[in-house]
Amino acid sequence: MIEPWIGKKIQTTLNERNKDFIVEIGKIRISIFRSELELENITISSKTEQEGIPELKGEIESIKIEGINITKAIFKKDFEIREVTIFNSSIKGKIPFQKKEKPTKVSPFKVRIDSLFFDKTNLDIRDALTAQTYSVKDGVLKVFDIKVEKLDTLNSGVVKRFDFNAQEFLTVSSDSMYTKTAIGINYSANSSTLVIDSISVHPNYPDYEFTKRHKFEIDRFEAGFNHITVCNFSLPGYFKSANLISSYIEIGKMNMNVFRDKRKPFRHVNKPAFQDMIYNYHGAINIDSIELINGNITYTEHDEKANEAGHISINEISAKIYKITNDSIYKTESGFLKLKADGLLMGKGKLTFLLKGRIFDHQNTFSVNGALAGMKINELNPMLEKNAFVFVTSGKIDAMNFSFTANNTKASGKMTFLYHGLDVAIKNKRTDDTTAIKERFMSIIANMKLMNSNPVPGDGVRVGIIDYERDPEKFLINYCFKSALTGIKSSLVKKQK
């Protein structure tokens, strides 16, 4: 007789305090001697409905509360609980994510829970106003030492330590353009280590359909990362303050494809230097090192005058980044960000790259040193013939070495580009033909202007000059590429003019 009465009392109290949801409790079991309370078959339904069905519905198999301090609960209105376990819970439906409300009061009483355990939780929540979606499959969460003061609000500061693992976490962007998925997530509070089997960023539309949905030209990213480990990382600290602090991050495998349609109008917006992006991050960043074991990147671009898209790739990439931080101590102390990488250009030529920049330099100065080993130049035709309308018929790169220093305004340096047997054919931009009279004549002129080797027999090595003014509307990769390109161009001809 007592248990049903208490169950109705709890249910009535919850419904009186909540204007948006209806709570129903199937059964309640009480053990005074063991200080336990168990609620079974709980449903939480939103009062707003669509075609007679609640827009949001939650179901919980049972909630077991153990180790209740009865004396404090009755006489002091303080609830001290040893453990709360929530079995087989699921929440499905939609709510307006953008709706701003005052923080929800957690409890009218003081509450302390030593351990809160969510066993097998499934979520599928959608935004009622946009395409944004959050989904969790088979999530398991254990939260330690929860302290809620009287009339405290629900915020990230309530949770200081937790363990978490899930089979899958998925989110769809509010504009429906991307789906981001993480598989096999495991975070341990004791080791402060986050391990994820795989992360993928998948566009929801094919290349040209994706870019068609944007007014201006934009990069379409498709990426996959496998075997990610983040060491000495506080996930609660990230949720609370967006802090990115870790001693070491390892990515076992990465595959990335980027597509851009240059036929779309260009949006003229200045982009910050990569250093400023780090400094202006709204949380603390202090990552000692990030290592990529193996990766592949393919960049595809459809030039505004081309019939088809061209592509360039770097394969079997291994890379390390050291000292990524926005710690203001480096405004007075000396510290340097470094990026070391190597890979195979078009899967053939060994490319090495070293970037080094002082942290908190007012001009955002950085230096780059790179080298490319021997490869046939016609391996670059998939990009050259579609984007530069030049087809390399013969030639080989013997070696390339370059170095330059760059800042917010300009890059300056030198390049030694050794090659031999270079011969090119000019393509018609409309028909892709290289054999018409006009194209043949232009090919002859081009081969007369371009030196077919460096060095030319009887002459010394021509040293290319790297001289490029930074385009504030482009990012770091474009800045480095265009800077190196000036060195290549100056190496191909005797007279710069």
Q: Is 5 a residue whose pLDDT tops 60?
A: yes
Question: Per residue in 253-305, pLDDT tens?
Answer: 999 999 999 999 999 999 999 999 999 999 999 999 999 999 999 999 999 98
The DSSP secondary-structure symbol of 449 reads H
Question: Per residue in 38-62, pLDDT tens?
Answer: 999 999 998 888 777 888 999 999 9
In a domain, 329, yes or no: no
Res 495: pLDDT: 66
**Are 365 and 337 within 8 A, CB to CB?**
no
In a domain, 277, yes or no: no
CA dihedral 314, 316, 317, 318 (to 10 degrees): -170
Q: Is 99 a residue whose pLDDT tops 60?
A: no
Higher-pLDDT residue of 419 and 73 is 419
Q: Tokens standing for 316? A: 């079997």
Q: Is 72 a residue whose pLDDT tops 80?
A: no
Res 100: pLDDT: 57
* pTM of this structure: 0.90
Range of the domain at 7: 1-172
Report phi then psi at 481, rounded to 5: -65, -45
For 27-36, 44-53, 66-75, 325-334, which range has the lowest pLDDT when averaged over its residues? 66-75
Average pLDDT (471-484) is: 94
In a domain, 204, yes or no: no
User: How many separate domains does the chain show?
Assistant: 1
User: Considering the chain, what is the average pLDDT of its residues?
Assistant: 90
Q: Tokens standing for 68? A: 């209740």
Res 13: pLDDT: 78
**Are 411 and 404 within 8 A, CB to CB?**
yes
Question: Per residue in 354-395, pLDDT tens?
Answer: 999 999 999 999 999 999 999 999 999 999 988 888 889 999
Residue type, 337: L
In a domain, 143, yes or no: yes
In a domain, 325, yes or no: no
Average pLDDT (239-247) is: 93
In the chain, what are the helix, strand and coil shares in percent, each to the nearest 5?
20, 55, 30
Higher-pLDDT residue of 111 and 419 is 419
CA dist., res. 388 & res. 229, Å (int) = 41
CA dist., res. 280 & res. 276, Å (int) = 6
Question: What single string gives the DSSP state of each residue in 225-249?
Answer: EEEEEEES--HHHHHHH--EEESEE
Nearest to 373 by CA among 345, 340, 350: 350
**Antiparallel, parallel or unpaired: β 285-302 and 248-261:** parallel
CA dist., res. 42 & res. 86, Å (int) = 11
Tell me if residue 128 falls in helix, strand or coil: coil
For 143-147, 242-246, 475-479, which range has the lowest pLDDT when averaged over its residues? 143-147
CA dist., res. 456 & res. 459, Å (int) = 5
Res 405: pLDDT: 98
Res 75: pLDDT: 64
Nearest to 218 by CA among 177, 267, 174: 267
Q: Tokens standing for 409? A: 């305004």
Place of tokens 């480096």: 330
In a domain, 381, yes or no: no
Q: Tokens standing for 290? A: 């990030």
In a domain, 86, yes or no: yes
**Are 261 and 295 within 8 A, CB to CB?**
no
Res 105: pLDDT: 55
Q: Tokens standing for 14? A: 């919850």
In a domain, 165, yes or no: yes
Length of the chain: 497
**Are 280 and 320 within 8 A, CB to CB?**
no
Q: Tokens standing for 125? A: 């929540």
Nearest to 201 by CA among 174, 182, 186, 227: 182
**Are 486 and 465 within 8 A, CB to CB?**
yes
